[in-house]
Amino acid sequence: MLLEVKDLNLWYGEKHVIRGINFNLEKGEVLCLVGESGSGKTSILYSILGLLPEVAKLQGSIKFMGKELIGLSEREYRKLRGRHISIVFQEPSVYLDPLFKIGVQLEEAYRAHFREGNPKEKALEALKKAGVPDAQRVYNSYPHHLSGGLKQRVCIAIATICNPELVLADEPTTALDVSVQSRILKLFRDMKSEGRSVLLVTHDFGVVAEVADRVIVLREGQIVEEGSVYEIFDSPKHPYTVELLRAI
Protein backbone atom coordinates (compact mmCIF):
# COMPACT_ATOMS: atom_id res chain seq x y z
CA MET A 1 0.00 0.00 0.00
CA LEU A 2 1.46 3.39 -0.99
CA LEU A 3 -0.65 5.59 1.28
CA GLU A 4 -2.66 4.57 4.34
CA VAL A 5 -4.77 7.16 6.11
CA LYS A 6 -6.24 6.02 9.41
CA ASP A 7 -8.67 7.72 11.74
CA LEU A 8 -7.68 11.18 10.56
CA ASN A 9 -9.09 14.11 12.49
CA LEU A 10 -8.36 17.77 11.94
CA TRP A 11 -9.37 20.88 13.83
CA TYR A 12 -8.84 24.52 12.94
CA GLY A 13 -9.10 25.96 16.43
CA GLU A 14 -12.42 24.66 17.74
CA LYS A 15 -13.73 23.76 14.31
CA HIS A 16 -13.62 20.00 13.65
CA VAL A 17 -13.24 19.79 9.84
CA ILE A 18 -11.94 16.25 9.16
CA ARG A 19 -13.86 13.76 11.22
CA GLY A 20 -12.46 10.26 11.38
CA ILE A 21 -11.38 9.53 7.83
CA ASN A 22 -9.87 6.21 6.65
CA PHE A 23 -8.67 5.39 3.15
CA ASN A 24 -5.88 3.69 1.23
CA LEU A 25 -4.19 4.38 -2.07
CA GLU A 26 -2.34 1.73 -4.02
CA LYS A 27 0.56 2.07 -6.39
CA GLY A 28 -0.63 3.03 -9.88
CA GLU A 29 -4.10 3.99 -8.74
CA VAL A 30 -6.03 7.19 -9.45
CA LEU A 31 -8.28 8.02 -6.50
CA CYS A 32 -10.68 10.97 -6.63
CA LEU A 33 -11.88 12.81 -3.53
CA VAL A 34 -15.21 14.41 -4.40
CA GLY A 35 -17.34 16.73 -2.35
CA GLU A 36 -18.81 20.19 -2.35
CA SER A 37 -16.86 23.27 -1.35
CA GLY A 38 -15.95 23.22 2.36
CA SER A 39 -16.16 19.42 2.73
CA GLY A 40 -12.46 19.21 3.65
CA LYS A 41 -10.82 18.07 0.41
CA THR A 42 -7.96 20.57 0.37
CA SER A 43 -7.37 20.04 4.08
CA ILE A 44 -6.79 16.34 3.44
CA LEU A 45 -4.14 17.09 0.79
CA TYR A 46 -2.45 19.65 3.05
CA SER A 47 -2.48 17.14 5.93
CA ILE A 48 -0.56 14.68 3.77
CA LEU A 49 2.06 17.20 2.67
CA GLY A 50 2.46 18.93 6.03
CA LEU A 51 1.16 22.25 4.67
CA LEU A 52 -1.44 23.01 7.36
CA PRO A 53 -1.51 26.41 9.07
CA GLU A 54 -0.34 26.90 12.67
CA VAL A 55 -3.86 26.81 14.10
CA ALA A 56 -4.46 23.30 12.77
CA LYS A 57 -4.44 20.29 15.06
CA LEU A 58 -4.06 16.94 13.31
CA GLN A 59 -4.64 13.50 14.82
CA GLY A 60 -4.50 9.96 13.49
CA SER A 61 -2.08 8.33 11.10
CA ILE A 62 -0.88 8.97 7.54
CA LYS A 63 1.55 6.31 6.39
CA PHE A 64 3.42 6.77 3.12
CA MET A 65 5.46 3.78 1.92
CA GLY A 66 5.15 2.44 5.46
CA LYS A 67 6.44 5.58 7.12
CA GLU A 68 4.37 7.76 9.46
CA LEU A 69 4.11 11.33 8.17
CA ILE A 70 2.25 12.98 11.06
CA GLY A 71 4.80 14.62 13.30
CA LEU A 72 7.62 14.82 10.73
CA SER A 73 9.91 17.81 11.08
CA GLU A 74 9.82 20.57 8.43
CA ARG A 75 13.24 19.39 7.31
CA GLU A 76 11.93 15.86 6.68
CA TYR A 77 8.87 17.17 4.85
CA ARG A 78 11.14 19.17 2.54
CA LYS A 79 12.96 15.98 1.57
CA LEU A 80 9.62 14.38 0.78
CA ARG A 81 7.92 17.23 -1.09
CA GLY A 82 8.56 17.23 -4.80
CA ARG A 83 10.73 14.13 -4.58
CA HIS A 84 8.24 11.53 -3.33
CA ILE A 85 4.95 13.42 -3.05
CA SER A 86 4.14 16.48 -5.14
CA ILE A 87 1.11 18.68 -5.63
CA VAL A 88 -0.60 20.48 -8.48
CA PHE A 89 -2.81 23.40 -7.46
CA GLN A 90 -5.99 24.80 -8.96
CA GLU A 91 -4.49 28.06 -10.11
CA PRO A 92 -1.11 27.65 -11.88
CA SER A 93 -0.41 31.40 -11.84
CA VAL A 94 -0.26 31.40 -8.07
CA TYR A 95 2.31 28.63 -8.01
CA LEU A 96 4.64 29.86 -10.76
CA ASP A 97 6.99 32.74 -9.95
CA PRO A 98 6.36 35.57 -12.45
CA LEU A 99 9.98 36.76 -12.22
CA PHE A 100 11.67 33.58 -13.42
CA LYS A 101 11.66 31.79 -16.73
CA ILE A 102 9.96 28.41 -16.82
CA GLY A 103 13.26 26.61 -17.41
CA VAL A 104 14.79 28.11 -14.27
CA GLN A 105 11.81 27.03 -12.17
CA LEU A 106 11.91 23.48 -13.51
CA GLU A 107 15.64 23.17 -12.96
CA GLU A 108 15.30 24.49 -9.44
CA ALA A 109 12.68 21.83 -8.68
CA TYR A 110 15.08 19.18 -9.97
CA ARG A 111 18.17 20.54 -8.19
CA ALA A 112 16.32 20.64 -4.88
CA HIS A 113 16.67 16.86 -4.82
CA PHE A 114 19.32 15.75 -7.32
CA ARG A 115 22.93 16.66 -7.89
CA GLU A 116 23.60 14.25 -10.72
CA GLY A 117 22.00 14.42 -14.18
CA ASN A 118 21.58 17.35 -16.53
CA PRO A 119 18.86 19.71 -15.20
CA LYS A 120 18.18 21.29 -18.58
CA GLU A 121 17.70 17.92 -20.23
CA LYS A 122 15.43 16.85 -17.36
CA ALA A 123 13.43 20.09 -17.67
CA LEU A 124 12.84 19.67 -21.40
CA GLU A 125 11.98 16.02 -20.95
CA ALA A 126 9.47 16.84 -18.18
CA LEU A 127 7.83 19.50 -20.38
CA LYS A 128 7.52 17.07 -23.30
CA LYS A 129 6.02 14.40 -21.05
CA ALA A 130 3.50 16.97 -19.82
CA GLY A 131 2.40 17.44 -23.42
CA VAL A 132 4.04 20.83 -24.03
CA PRO A 133 4.30 21.07 -27.82
CA ASP A 134 7.23 23.49 -28.12
CA ALA A 135 9.26 22.62 -25.04
CA GLN A 136 12.30 24.71 -25.97
CA ARG A 137 10.23 27.87 -26.42
CA VAL A 138 8.30 27.31 -23.18
CA TYR A 139 11.57 26.62 -21.35
CA ASN A 140 12.70 30.14 -22.34
CA SER A 141 9.39 31.83 -21.56
CA TYR A 142 8.11 33.72 -18.54
CA PRO A 143 4.83 32.46 -17.03
CA HIS A 144 2.81 35.45 -18.29
CA HIS A 145 3.67 34.52 -21.88
CA LEU A 146 1.75 31.27 -21.54
CA SER A 147 -1.94 30.36 -21.63
CA GLY A 148 -3.62 28.90 -18.54
CA GLY A 149 -3.56 25.41 -20.04
CA LEU A 150 0.16 25.64 -20.81
CA LYS A 151 0.93 26.99 -17.34
CA GLN A 152 -0.90 24.03 -15.79
CA ARG A 153 1.17 21.68 -17.99
CA VAL A 154 4.27 23.41 -16.66
CA CYS A 155 3.06 22.84 -13.08
CA ILE A 156 2.54 19.18 -13.92
CA ALA A 157 6.07 19.05 -15.34
CA ILE A 158 7.40 20.59 -12.10
CA ALA A 159 5.37 18.10 -10.07
CA THR A 160 6.78 15.12 -11.96
CA ILE A 161 10.36 16.15 -12.77
CA CYS A 162 11.75 14.28 -9.73
CA ASN A 163 9.69 11.20 -10.51
CA PRO A 164 7.57 11.11 -7.32
CA GLU A 165 5.55 8.05 -6.37
CA LEU A 166 2.48 10.13 -5.49
CA VAL A 167 0.99 13.23 -7.11
CA LEU A 168 -1.73 15.18 -5.31
CA ALA A 169 -3.91 17.51 -7.35
CA ASP A 170 -6.32 20.12 -5.99
CA GLU A 171 -9.03 20.88 -8.58
CA PRO A 172 -6.33 21.09 -11.28
CA THR A 173 -8.68 21.95 -14.15
CA THR A 174 -11.25 24.17 -12.42
CA ALA A 175 -9.55 27.40 -13.52
CA LEU A 176 -9.09 26.28 -17.14
CA ASP A 177 -11.21 26.59 -20.25
CA VAL A 178 -13.43 23.59 -20.81
CA SER A 179 -11.68 22.99 -24.15
CA VAL A 180 -8.33 22.22 -22.47
CA GLN A 181 -9.66 20.45 -19.36
CA SER A 182 -9.80 16.91 -20.67
CA ARG A 183 -6.34 17.17 -22.24
CA ILE A 184 -4.93 18.13 -18.86
CA LEU A 185 -6.88 15.35 -17.14
CA LYS A 186 -5.40 12.85 -19.57
CA LEU A 187 -1.96 13.68 -18.13
CA PHE A 188 -3.11 12.35 -14.77
CA ARG A 189 -4.19 9.15 -16.48
CA ASP A 190 -0.73 9.00 -18.10
CA MET A 191 0.88 9.16 -14.65
CA LYS A 192 -0.84 5.91 -13.82
CA SER A 193 0.80 4.16 -16.78
CA GLU A 194 4.17 5.34 -15.41
CA GLY A 195 3.36 3.56 -12.14
CA ARG A 196 2.57 6.71 -10.20
CA SER A 197 -0.41 7.11 -7.91
CA VAL A 198 -2.69 10.12 -8.08
CA LEU A 199 -4.96 11.58 -5.42
CA LEU A 200 -7.16 14.08 -7.22
CA VAL A 201 -9.56 16.43 -5.51
CA THR A 202 -12.57 17.77 -7.37
CA HIS A 203 -16.15 18.90 -6.85
CA ASP A 204 -16.96 17.82 -10.40
CA PHE A 205 -18.19 14.34 -11.27
CA GLY A 206 -17.34 15.03 -14.92
CA VAL A 207 -13.68 15.04 -13.85
CA VAL A 208 -14.21 11.83 -11.88
CA ALA A 209 -15.64 10.11 -14.95
CA GLU A 210 -12.56 11.02 -16.96
CA VAL A 211 -9.79 10.04 -14.56
CA ALA A 212 -10.78 7.99 -11.54
CA ASP A 213 -10.27 4.31 -10.79
CA ARG A 214 -11.82 4.73 -7.38
CA VAL A 215 -13.89 7.46 -5.74
CA ILE A 216 -14.39 8.72 -2.22
CA VAL A 217 -17.33 11.01 -1.57
CA LEU A 218 -16.79 13.48 1.24
CA ARG A 219 -19.36 15.46 3.12
CA GLU A 220 -18.66 17.78 6.01
CA GLY A 221 -15.36 16.08 6.75
CA GLN A 222 -16.64 12.51 6.64
CA ILE A 223 -16.62 9.82 3.98
CA VAL A 224 -20.19 9.05 2.97
CA GLU A 225 -19.43 6.65 0.15
CA GLU A 226 -16.49 4.88 -1.43
CA GLY A 227 -16.24 2.61 -4.45
CA SER A 228 -14.92 2.00 -7.95
CA VAL A 229 -15.86 4.60 -10.51
CA TYR A 230 -18.34 2.08 -12.00
CA GLU A 231 -20.02 1.40 -8.66
CA ILE A 232 -20.40 5.08 -7.91
CA PHE A 233 -21.86 5.98 -11.31
CA ASP A 234 -24.02 2.86 -11.76
CA SER A 235 -25.38 2.38 -8.28
CA PRO A 236 -24.68 5.26 -5.92
CA LYS A 237 -25.90 4.32 -2.46
CA HIS A 238 -25.91 7.59 -0.59
CA PRO A 239 -28.50 10.27 -1.44
CA TYR A 240 -25.74 12.90 -1.27
CA THR A 241 -23.85 11.09 -4.05
CA VAL A 242 -27.02 10.91 -6.13
CA GLU A 243 -27.47 14.64 -5.63
CA LEU A 244 -23.88 15.39 -6.72
CA LEU A 245 -24.28 13.12 -9.74
CA ARG A 246 -27.42 14.97 -10.77
CA ALA A 247 -25.32 18.11 -11.17
CA ILE A 248 -23.60 16.74 -14.30
Ligand X SMILES: Nc1ncnc2c1ncn2[C@@H]1O[C@H](COP(=O)(O)OP(=O)(O)O)[C@@H](O)[C@H]1O
Applying CB under 6 A, which part among 37-45, 63-71, 94-102, 222-230 lies near ligand X? 37-45
Contacting Mg ion (CB under 5 A), which of 42, 173, 181, 241?
42
What 17-20 contacts at long range (C-beta under 8 Å, 24+ apart), as own/partner pairs, is 17/43, 17/221, 18/43, 18/44, 18/47, 18/221, 19/220, 19/221, 19/222, 20/222
Least distance (Å) between residue 31 CB and Mg ion = 16
Least distance (Å) between residue 35 CB and ligand X = 6
Q: Phi then psi for 168, rounded to 5 degrees?
A: -100, 145
Least distance (Å) between residue 43 CB and Mg ion = 8
Would you give the binding string for ligand X spanning residues 153-192, x where CB under 6 A is met? ----------------------------------------
Binding of ligand X at residue 152 (CB under 6 A)? no
Binding of Mg ion at residue 47 (CB under 5 A)? no
Which residue intervals of 87-132 are DSSP H helices? 92-95, 102-111, 119-129
**Residue 236's binding partner, choosing from ligand X, Mg ion, none, with beta-carbon cut-off 5 to 8 A by kind?**
none
Strand 56-64 to 3-12 pairing: antiparallel
**Residue 73's binding partner, choosing from ligand X, Mg ion, none, with beta-carbon cut-off 5 to 8 A by kind?**
none
Q: How many residues bind ligand X (CB under 6 A)?
A: 13
Q: Phi then psi for 136, rounded to 5 degrees?
A: -65, -40
Strand order across the beta sheet in which 56-64 lies: 15-25, 3-12, 56-64, 67-68
Residue with smallest beta-carbon separation from Mg ion:
42
Residues 6+ apart with CB under 8 A from 120: 103, 107, 139
Q: Given the complex with ligand X, which of 37 and 179 has the nearer CB atom? A: 37
Binding of ligand X at residue 90 (CB under 6 A)? no
Would you give the binding string for ligand X spanning residues 42-81, x where CB under 6 A is met? xx---------x-x--------------------------
**In terms of Cα–Cα distance, which of 216, 222, 192, 182 is closest to 202?**
216
| Number of neighbours of residue 146 by Cβ within 10 angstroms | 20
Q: Given the complex with ligand X, which of 130 and 201 has the nearer CB atom? A: 201
Cα torsion angle, 127, 129, 132, 137, sign: positive
Yes or no: say if 146 and 134 are a contact pair by the CB < 8 Å rule. no
Binding site for ligand X (CB under 6 A): 12, 15, 17, 35, 37-43, 53, 55
Contact residues for Mg ion (CB under 5 A)? 41-42
